[in-house]
Amino acid sequence: MCSELTTDVLIVGGGPTGLMAANELLRQGIDFQIIEKRTKPSQQSRALAIQPRTLETLDQMGLVDRFIKQGFPSPGAKLHFEGTPLAKIEWSHLQTHFPYLMVLPQSKTETILENHLVEQGGSVKRKWEFSHLSIRDGYVHVTAIDPNQREKTMIARYLLACDGAHSPVRKDLNIPFSGEGENTTFFLGDVQVNGLDSTYINVFLTERGLAAFFPFKEEHYRVITVDFSKQHFPHQDALSLVELQESVDRIIPHQFELTDPQWLTQFGTAHRQVPSYRYGPVFFLGDAAHIHNPAGGQGMNLGIQDAANLTWKLALVLSGKGHPDILDTFHTERHPIAEATLKGTSRALKALTIKPPWTKVRNWLGRSVLTSQTMQDKILNQISNLAVHYRSTPHAEKGLDPLISSSALCAGDRVPDLIFLNNNHSTIRLFELLRKPRFLCLYYMEELNASHLSEVMDTIHTLESHFKDQLSSFIISKGGTRKLFKDLPAMLFDVHGEVPSKLGMKMGHLLVIRPDGYVAFHLSSWKSEPALEKINLWLKEQATV
C-alpha cells in the first residue's frame, strides 16, 4: 500500500546544498519536505573551503557566527616551486567583512545547517531514498522508500535535485551530464603534519607532482597530493597512511611526517554539467548540476549559492506574488557561473600538474603573475566568488538605467555590506537588513529637506500599496533637519560616506536589492512610475524578458 505526502517543494538530498535550500525555504515560509538516504550528516570532511561570498550569504541568514566559531580562518596561501617560496597570496585585500578562506569540514557545515533547520521547526527525513518520479499535470510525483522499506508517494509543485554527482533524479529523467574525466588521481588525508606549523595554506609544486596542506582548527591538516608516479592507474577509495606518506616524500622529500589519520581516500575528477538547470518543475542544484576538480575550493560554494539564488524566486511564485517565468532566471544566472568555474578549474589543474620540461616555464610565469598585487586581487576576487555577477543576463540588461554611471552598481551586481546609523543612532549593517526575506529599497539624498522627503514618501507609499510585504524601504542621508527625520523609523545615516563610493548612488537615486543580496535595479530617479515598472519586471512580467 502506497501512502501519499503533499508539499510545495520536495528537496532530494540532505547535503550542504539541500540543507541550505531547506533553511532558505523555511525562512521564506514555504512548505517543503527534504529526504536523505543517509542516517546522519556526513562524518567525512569532503568539501573544506567556505569562500568569502558564501560567508556573506550566511551572514544575511544570521548564521555566519556559528561557522566562524567552528572554522579556521586561513589568511592566505604560500606557493613553493621546487622547494623555493614563490609567492604569498593574502586574502586580506578583499573588500568584504570576511577577508579569509574559512576552512571547515563539510561534516560540520552540514551539522550547523541541520541544527539550525531543526531549531526553526524543520527536519530532514533521513533513511528516505528516492526511487523514481513522474511529472503529471505540472506536479512532480515521487516514489520514495521510507525507513521501514515501504513505498511512499510524495507529490510536490517543485522538486529540487540536490542529490550529488551521481544524482538518481538526473538519471531517472535521462538528463545528460556532459563533460569528461580529467585522468588525474588525487590522494587525500586528514592528518597531523609534524614539521609544519602554519596558518596559511601551503602548496608545493615540483617536477614530481604537487602537495597541498590546508590547516584545520583541531591541529590537523587536509593533505592532498597529485603524485605523477601514481597516475594512469585504476584508483579506488582505499588509501593507507603509508601510501600518502610515500607520496608526500616523493614530491617534497623528507620534510614532513604524517600521523594520526582521521580520513584517507583517493579519488579522480571530471568536469560535467547538465545542459539546463530546469526541466519543468524539476531543478538541479549543486553537484547534481555540475562537478569539477577541487582546484580553488569551489564545489560546495557553488551549490550553496545555487540554493540562495533559487529559493527566494520559488517563494515569490508559490505565494502568488511572482510570475512563474521568474524561475527560468535560475538557469540563465547560475549555469554560466558554473560553466566558467568548470573551465577555470580545468585550466588551473593543468597548470598545477604540468610536467617537465615545462615546469620551469610554469614556475617563471607563475612568479611573474603571482607577485603582482593587481593580478592577485583579480584572481582572488574570482576564487572568493565576490566577482560573481548576473549583469549579462537578459533580464538584468533590461533593468539598466542609461543615466547610471558605468562605475555604479547596476542590475545583477553583488551588493557589499555597509555600516549605517539608524534613527536611534545605533549601528546597523546592510546585511542585517537583508535578513528579512524581501526586496530592499534604498532611497538616497545627501541631505534631507521637506521637498525631497515629500517625493520619496510618495514613492514609498505607492510601492508599498502595490507590493505590501514584499519589500522594505529605507531613506539614506548624510544628515538633515532633525524635525524631518525624527518620526521616520526607516531612516539610515551614511556616516562613513559609503553609499556614493561603494554603491554609486547619487542624490535622487533608488536602488533595489534582491533577497539574495544582488541588485535588482538601480534608477537615477526615485519617482514612483519608473520604480513600479522595474519592480513589475521582477514580480509580474518575467514572461516578457
Q: What is the pLDDT of residue 398?
A: 79
pLDDT at 369 over 80: no
Q: What is the pLDDT of residue 448?
A: 76
480-485: long-range contacts, CB 8 A cutoff, minimum separation 24: 480/445, 480/447, 480/448, 480/449, 481/448, 481/449, 484/448, 484/449, 484/450, 484/453, 485/423, 485/448
Q: What is the pLDDT of residue 382?
A: 92
Q: Give CA–CA dist 417/498, Å, rounded.
A: 10
pLDDT at 469 over 60: yes
Q: What is the pLDDT of residue 545?
A: 33
pLDDT at 456 over 90: no
Backbone angles phi, psi at 2, to 5 degrees: -110, 115
pLDDT at 489 over 70: no
Of 115-124, 181-190, 269-278, the poorest mean pLDDT is in 181-190
Is-cis flag, bond preceding 41, omega within 30?
Answer: no
Q: What is the pLDDT of residue 543?
A: 37
Dihedral (CA of 258, 263, 268, 273) sign: negative
- Could you tell me the fold of the domain covering 180-270? Alpha-Beta Plaits (3.30.70)
Average pLDDT value over all residues in the chain: 89
Of 463, 460, 440, give the one whose Cα is nearest residue 513: 440
**Angle between the N-to-C axes of helices 299-318 and 329-352, in degrees from 0 to 180, rounded to the nearest 10:** 180
One of 3.50.50.60, 3.10.129.10, 1.10.3720.10, 3.40.50.10150 is the CATH number of 3-48+105-177+274-352, namely 3.50.50.60
For the chain, give every residue range classified as CATH 3.40.30.120. 394-544
State the DSSP H helix or E strand holding residue 429, giving kind and residue range, or none if neither.
strand 427-429
CB atoms within 10 A of CB 447: 12
pLDDT at 495 over 70: yes
pLDDT tens sequence across 294-328? 888 888 999 999 999 999 999 999 998 888 999 99
Q: Decide: residue 19, CB within 10 A, 0-12 exposed, 13-18 middle, 19+ buried.
A: buried
Q: What is the pLDDT of residue 542?
A: 47
pLDDT at 485 over 70: no
Q: Where are the beta strands (DSSP E) in 151-251?
A: 151-161, 178-194, 201-206, 209-215, 221-227
Of 466, 517, 156, 529, give the one whose Cα is nearest residue 321: 466
Q: Per DSSP, what are the bridge partners of residue 161?
A: 12, 284
Cell triple for residue 538?
Answer: 521582477
For the chain, the maximum distance between any two Cα atoms, rounded to a whole number of angstroms, is 77
How many angstroms from the chain centroid is the CA of residue 272?
Answer: 19
pLDDT at 450 over 90: no
Q: What is the pLDDT of residue 538?
A: 66
Pairing relation of β-strands 151-161 and 84-90? unpaired
Q: Is the pTM of this model over 0.75?
A: yes
pLDDT at 100 over 70: yes
State the DSSP H helix or E strand holding residue 452, giving kind and residue range, or none if neither.
helix 450-467
For the chain, give every residue range classified as CATH 3.50.50.60. 3-48+105-177+274-352
Pairing relation of β-strands 129-136 and 84-90? unpaired
Q: How many residues does the chain have?
A: 545
**pLDDT level of residue 396 (50, 70, 90 thresholds):** confident
**pLDDT level of residue 486 (50, 70, 90 thresholds):** low
One of 3.40.30.120, 1.10.150.250, 1.20.1740.10, 3.40.50.2020 is the CATH number of 394-544, namely 3.40.30.120
pLDDT at 1 over 50: no
pLDDT tens sequence across 213-263? 999 877 889 999 999 998 877 766 689 999 999 999 999 998 899 999 999
Q: What is the pLDDT of residue 483?
A: 60
